Structure 1
């Protein structure tokens, strides 16, 4: 399991084949072999059992496109997705926004996923591969250092690659869980103000009493300024639709 924001792979923009023969000719396994009809992964063979793992916090379209790429890697696939628990993730990577139960459930509602493995291991063992009858492990090809100390090679996928069981995917640029969190942090006051307006309390958002009152004061002053602008306009002159009949006659 790579210590990243899970898999963020992109689907290649290629035209769909119009015939089974054309589609079959375009695919090949990680070892470069083109499957023959009737073999695993082909329309008439058994489904190839593919495995993808990650954290999948704040599940977003980068995650979905990665899983789509895995599912559509071969004409006939069964996609198993492993998701790490809060315990191992918080220990080896850091805090998540969503709980493990929420992350598991998000994956179950993704159309590309056939099966979810809860409390997935950080590093894949032979026993795990055998238990789930995994043919190939899907991930982008970047080396991911192992913070658990289980992988002696340094890259958690090094052994999988050496076994010829690694299917490379492509990353999706411009979206990640970290990017989403940074966007929220960068607009911290804006989102606090937004939620205060919706009835949340400072305590619920872990905002100090002073900070909450300061933002509420700014919100109140904003309403006063807006009311003044509605009455007098930006030039400070009383608008006609707010003038009394007597005032209108004297203008």
Structure 2
């Protein structure tokens, strides 16, 4: 980071420094990090490179090497200045900073070739009054954002709604945010007047993650996190839970252990049964092959032993009587033992 960029950075509730028009930072921008283009899909350390699932989910964010701005929006966008860094401003609460925040800031930083990115963060009083309680305090939120590589300057105690005076004071060329109307108690879209002035530059929202989603996960799995922290040695008093709640969590833990043991045993039994079935199938295949081979031997042995007799029995010609008719032996009567030969007359 350049020296003037570091001197103008604000964190932890520091005093705001107003940049006069002659400030050197209007002509000097922080140079891009070494090898940045080779580290896409956007992670500063190249995380996710080569992983198809991550590459498909999070497309690389390319740096716009031209000064062209979108022309397909229902609001006008002023052409950017070409003789100095373009001063972009992103504002928000940035509680429980996540990759959705980071990708929005990266888009803003890469939206034009030469960008000086400022991030405004609202204080706890405004946030708790207008939106609700945060997990991190304002000091923790400021410090978290200070470590983001895309940010050149942090503006603490930023206004909940951007005003004309604020835009002029910080010489903001564009306010960056996704262009879905952001409603507040005071208006339907807090960025409406910025769009009307052509000083709004849209970014793409990252679906599937938000601070509210993260808090919902914690609330949903509240008991699991309590049990985890109890197992790590935290006391019920530190976790602000009663004796009864502690006993309930201990019971849940025992039930969970029993359930896992049953699953493990069932899984082991199933694997044993599958193994035994495979062994039985193999034995049946071997037995079948054995008897198929022995069957051929039996046929050959039977033929060699009884082949002549079988041929005589089944190949014997039937005797033919006079006239070519078969000869019948007829017993004359039940009282006589002699046999009388008679020739059938064509019957």
- TM-score, structure 1 length as denominator? 0.73
Match of 2:69 among 23, 28, 31: 28
What do the CA deviations read for 1:80-113 (whole angstroms, capped 9, x no partner)? Answer: 0001111000000001111111111111100000
User: Distance between the aligned counterparts of 2:206 and 2:260, measured in 1?
Assistant: 42
Instruction: Give yes or no for contact 2:86–2:173 (8 Å, CA) kept in 1.
Output: yes
Once residues 223 and 32 of structure 1 are traced to their aligned partners in structure 2, the CA distance between those partners, rounded to angstroms, is 60
- Corresponding residue number in structure 1 for 2:150: 112
Aligned to 1:75: 113
Helix, strand or coil at the partner of 1:170: coil
Task: Within 5 Å, give how 1:113-192 maps onto structure 2.
Answer: 113-147=151-185, 149=186, 151=187, 154-192=188-226
Of 77, 85, 88, 1:50 maps to 88
Matched-pair contact (CA < 8 Å) for 2:63–2:110: no
Which entry has the higher C-alpha Rg, 1 or 2?
A: 2
Q: Flag structure 2 segments of 5+ consecutive residues without an equivalent.
A: 1-56, 268-347
Displacement of 1:184 after TM fit? Answer: 1.2
Task: Quote the residue 1:215 is aligned against.
Answer: 249
Task: String of CA shifts for 1:196-245, please: whole Å, max 9, x gaps.
Answer: 11112222223222111221244356668889999xx679xxxxxxxxxx
Q: Deviations over 1:25-81 (max 9, x none)?
A: 6x326746666xxx43xxxx3100000000101000000000000000100000000
Distance 2:197 2:58 in 1: 25
* Paired residues, number: 207
Aligned counterparts of 1:89 and 1:14: Cα–Cα separation in 2: 30
Q: Deviations over 1:3-36 (max 9, x none)?
A: xxxxxxx98646668xxxxx326x326746666x
Q: Secondary structure at the match of 2:128?
A: helix
Could you say what the CA RMSD is over the residues aligned between the two structures, in angstroms?
2.9
Contact 1:11 1:69 in 2 (8 A): no
Are residues 15 and 133 of structure 1, via their aligned partners in 2, closer, same or farther at CA, if it must alter by over 3 Å?
closer
Indicate whether 1:198 and 2:232 are aligned. Answer: yes
Task: Choose between structure 1 and 2 for higher RCO, CA contacts under 8 A separated by at least 6 residues.
Answer: 1
d(CA) in 1 for partners of 2:228 and 2:176? 40
Q: Secondary structure at the match of 1:207?
A: coil
Q: Give the drift of 1:122.
A: 0.7
Structure with greater helix percent: 2
Distance in structure 1 (CA, Å) of the matches to 2:61 and 2:150? 18
User: Structure 1 residues 227, 216: CA separation in 2 closer, same or farther (over 3 Å shift)?
Assistant: same
Aligned mates of 2:259, 2:93 — CA distance in 1: 45
Instruction: Determine which of 71, 91, 98 is the counterpart of 2:136.
Output: 98
Q: Is the 1:55–1:84 Cα contact (8 Å) retained in structure 2?
A: yes
Contact 2:63 2:112 in 1 (8 A): no
1:144 shift after superposition: 1.3
CA change 1:234–1:69 in 2 (3 A) is closer
Paired with 1:161 and 1:33, the residues of 2 have a C-alpha distance of: 10
How far apart, CA to CA, are the structure 2 residues paired with 1:32 and 1:225?
A: 60
Q: 1:229 to 1:94 in 2, by over 3 A?
A: closer
Residue 3 of structure 2 corresponds to none
